[in-house]
């Protein structure tokens, strides 16, 4: 498990940072404030714990919000900086996420995508006046709106069910098709994953 330490809004250089080439290459290439700010940006975009004030921000806007906070609204990354940052994202995520978390994040991403579609889809309201002058209103795209809401509910339910199943079979020793136990069946997840 790799973990950045955040103190007073700054990344503390500890073993988690200085032993990883993805992070040392950032510090070597961008000494001083820029490199440390890039590490802070990686932390804000990737850390899932409550240590990160951006942990629950919608993934569709999280990276831009973090960039604005760390570098200011007028920041422009070079192509090389973007590559270094994305290598940092990949390393941070690889060394921190369990399969359960990755599965949960996949569902979160899908929920965020559908929520964004739902937010952009406005009800189309029609007004009809009959021969007696009575006014009746109806929404013509209510089935689309209902479909989005149902999909959000479905993915949220799937996420909870998959996490519960993963926690239940962890360490159970069930064998898959005569082969060895999978990583989750062998209990290769941290104890704290069971609480999620």
DSSP line for 120-174: H----EEEEE-TT--EEEEETTHHHHHHHHHHHHHHHHHHHHHHHHHHHHTT---
Distance CA 102, CA 83 (A): 22
53 secondary structure, DSSP code: T
Q: Within 13 Å and on the Cβ side, how many CA atoms surround 69? A: 17
Strand partners, 136: 128
The whole-angstrom separation of Cα 121 and Cα 114 is: 11
Name which of 57, 58, 162 is nearest 117 in CA terms: 58
Q: What is the pLDDT along the chain (196 residues), one digit of tens a residue?
A: 677 878 878 888 777 777 788 998 998 999 878 999 999 999 999 887 788 888 888 878 889 999 999 999 999 999 999 999 999 998 888 877 666 666 777 888 888 899 889 888 888 888 888 888 888 888 888 899 899 999 999 988 988 887 777 666 554 444 334 344 444 444 444 444 444 4
**What is the reported pLDDT for 58?**
82
pLDDT at residue number 192: 44
| C-beta separation of 173 from 185 below 8 A | yes
């Amino acid at each position: 498990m790799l973990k950045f330490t955040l103190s007073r809004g700054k990344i503390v250089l500890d073993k988690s940072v200085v032993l990883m080439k993805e992070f040392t290459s950032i510090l070597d290439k961008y000494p001083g404030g820029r490199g440390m700010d890039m590490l802070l940006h990686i932390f804000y975009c990737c850390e899932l714990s409550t240590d990160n004030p951006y942990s629950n921000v919608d993934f569709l806007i999280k990276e831009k919000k973090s960039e604005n906070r760390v570098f200011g609204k007028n920041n422009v990354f070079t192509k090389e900086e973007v590559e270094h940052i994305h290598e940092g994202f990949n390393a941070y995520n690889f060394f921190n996420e369990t399969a359960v978390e990755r599965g949960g994040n996949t569902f979160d991403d899908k929920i965020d995508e559908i929520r964004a579609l739902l937010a952009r889809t406005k009800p189309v309201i029609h007004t009809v006046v009959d021969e007696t002058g009575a006014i009746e209103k109806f929404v013509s795209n209510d089935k689309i709106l209902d479909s989005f809401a149902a999909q959000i509910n479905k993915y949220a339910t799937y996420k909870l069910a998959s996490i519960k199943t993963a926690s239940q079979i962890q360490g159970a020793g069930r064998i898959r098709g005569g082969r060895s136990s999978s990583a989750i069946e062998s209990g290769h997840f941290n104890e704290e994953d069971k609480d999620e």
